[in-house]
Structure 1
């Protein structure tokens, strides 16, 4: 029997945990996906009391069946458990946790895995309140103790506010240069507000990234039941560049941006064409960090797509003051060792070898500094160009004075296009 290892990956102390935030706590778990009604591009947020379904799936890198269970817990704005709620307040459930009973072993793959999936809400478990939810997937270790292997967050929204965002490249620090700045108004006329600044909290993300997100930026004005953010420093974002793209759909030939694919037991190795730092804006039809599992000849990617070692390479001079990472939604915005690059003096490039499932991937190169180890930067790898088409996600939360929990009352995803 294969030993089951649990590796705890800790979030930065300053991080929050809103919809999409994910921690994989076992090296056996790969390709966790959260889709809304089968749509890969939507945020993991479903409407309260609607027919929308959140579909959750992942691979366990073994053909041995393992009993996995899942449970949900309502959380506040920061992702902490809503301690003033009873479980029966926020979830209609048959039991505290449910067994994942949909699973299927991989077929004709060199890397054996079992694909697990389930959906929410279902007959056994249904969220009753809007807000943030922590979804925990667990199994038993060799001693029979229940241990979590996945912690991920999703949202349930009860749309009660109107969000009016604007994005400009005429920012407080430059004009048509390296930044994009958001302003927004939240019309909360449908809510009863006593203290808007304390009762309303917001989260603004760029391309679903948490490392550079604006967590509850301070409003600049309140006009009746309309909260206003203008010339807000926290809503000033470095523009970055369009994401790079690569595709691996077969182990027989290289795909988009691929140099070669070869077999070295026990894996196929997919070497990408070497990348270089970008000095100019490069327009491309990217999907802002998206990834899709795919395989050739129209096969079922859930169980027929193989895993390969993808070799990333960024040709640049070494910089001991920076740590370089490969980044995309598929890396869950984690600056962990799995996505960290190391410098190869022979090839004069930063390199990373990452186990990935066949598919289409957006990616970019980020670097962190010793003073800001949890914030990714693009200036020396992708550049920052005002023309970049970025998706912004704005989430609005409300907890009335004396209320017991934070509700998610508004979500919009505007896209900046020049």
Structure 2
């Protein structure tokens, strides 16, 4: 039994209790391609039904074949620590070594590919629905990274409709989410106080809305038809590139060079904020690992330096710009900051990414550290976005927030 890891987890819990909501810990530079998915095959933010499995995969590029361990923690609706002890939400044990891994094959970049499936022989079952966090530790009991996931029960049906904003000032730029929750075999007592929801756009928890109460009820249905409170900026369709063949021409790639690793230079992007909306199919910020002439992309796809470039204009000069997407869990840090090249009047950034198909976008960090997704790409009500709605319920006298329902909607058929 790795006592030190439990001690560390205890102190992490104490810190979270003092400072409130828990945040995901992003990995160091040598941990790449964290692919977290359930039956829905999402590569981030899995929301899975109670009893289903979830897979966590990642690559370690240091070539050491290190041992990694995992723990699982349970949280309240607002991601504050729960009062439940581990045996109340987990059958079996965690704090176990990830035993399944393979080394890369026929790649310039050496890496080890790790895979963890839950449930497994040690962690037999997650007993209850709600918010979970998986934490990955190294053999020195240091936290390497963590990821959130949710488990739901089918105790309510959730209808999700996407509408244009009712505010004339934002009608061309925002999308409004209307929600109807219909209980199925459960009585919701005092729903205005005990039912809480979270609305997530394109799997990005950073921009989620989570403070909505039912506006009114029709019979047992809970109705949410807010305007400003349930509105998201429409954004624009994601940019994309594909490099499943590192030696040949691919979509979005201008030129290829081979040094120690392959380098793919993307075509320069231009700001779209002042351009008309143009439909361009995307996968809503997601990514897919893939390469040609290989049977197993998990260990045969190579790592490539991707060179992003964004043409500047007077509006963007002096701005702090980052490139992100599901591939880096929408994180904002030094690694994905665009550096301005005054000679070329271009913002540039290089990221080491595994071969595949990627969505990405450029965002501006305002002076108040708020992320402005529309400053470069623009905001349009026509943009196709995915929305997830997750409903929580804590009955009288209960000690945890169960997830009673999960619904999805798309703005592809947005209406007035």
Same fold (TM over 0.5): yes
> What's 2:403 paired with?
408
Name the structure with the higher helix share. 2
The 8 Å contact of residues 294 and 305 in structure 1, kept in 2 or not, is answered as yes
> What's 2:55 paired with?
55
Q: Distance in 2 between matches of 1:139 and 1:322?
A: 37
Question: Which of 93, 115, 118 is residue 117 of structure 1 equivalent to?
Answer: 115
Q: Give 3-state SS (helix, strand or coil) of 2:269's partner.
A: coil
Residue deviations 1:175-198, cap 9 Å, x none?
A: 751111111121236333332122
Q: Give 3-state SS (helix, strand or coil) of 1:338's partner.
A: helix
The 8 Å contact of residues 69 and 139 in structure 2, kept in 1 or not, is answered as no
Question: Which of 273, 278, 302 is residue 306 of structure 1 equivalent to?
Answer: 302
Kindly report which structure 2 residues correspond to 1:367-406, keeping only aligned pairs within 5 A, or say none: 367-371=364-368, 373-378=369-374, 380-406=375-401
Structure 1: segments with no counterpart, 5+ residues:
1-10
Q: Distance in 2 between matches of 1:382 and 1:295?
A: 29
Deviation at 1:140, TM superposition (A): 2.4
Deviation at 1:237, TM superposition (A): 1.2
| Mapped pair 1:341 → 2:343 | no
RMSD: 2.4
In structure 2, do the counterparts of structure 1 residues 14 and 189 end up closer, same or farther at CA, with 3 Å as the change threshold?
Answer: farther
Q: Which one is further off, 344-353 or 164-173?
A: 164-173
Q: Distance in 1 between matches of 2:355 and 2:21?
A: 31
Deviation at 1:385, TM superposition (A): 1.4
Deviation at 1:289, TM superposition (A): 0.6
> What's 2:136 paired with?
137
> What's 2:127 paired with?
128
The 8 Å contact of residues 189 and 226 in structure 1, kept in 2 or not, is answered as no
> What's 2:284 paired with?
288
Runs of 4+ with deviation above 4 angstroms: 13-17
| Mapped pair 1:198 → 2:193 | yes
Residue deviations 1:76-127, cap 9 Å, x none?
A: 11222312x121110011x341111111111121111100001111221120
Q: Give 3-state SS (helix, strand or coil) of 1:381's partner.
A: helix
The 8 Å contact of residues 335 and 374 in structure 1, kept in 2 or not, is answered as no
Deviation at 1:14, TM superposition (A): 11
The 8 Å contact of residues 61 and 112 in structure 1, kept in 2 or not, is answered as yes
Question: Which of 273, 276, 282 is residue 270 of structure 2 equivalent to?
Answer: 276
Q: Give 3-state SS (helix, strand or coil) of 1:274's partner.
A: coil
Question: Which of 233, 240, 243 is residue 238 of structure 1 equivalent to?
Answer: 233
| Mapped pair 1:178 → 2:209 | no
The 8 Å contact of residues 157 and 407 in structure 2, kept in 1 or not, is answered as no
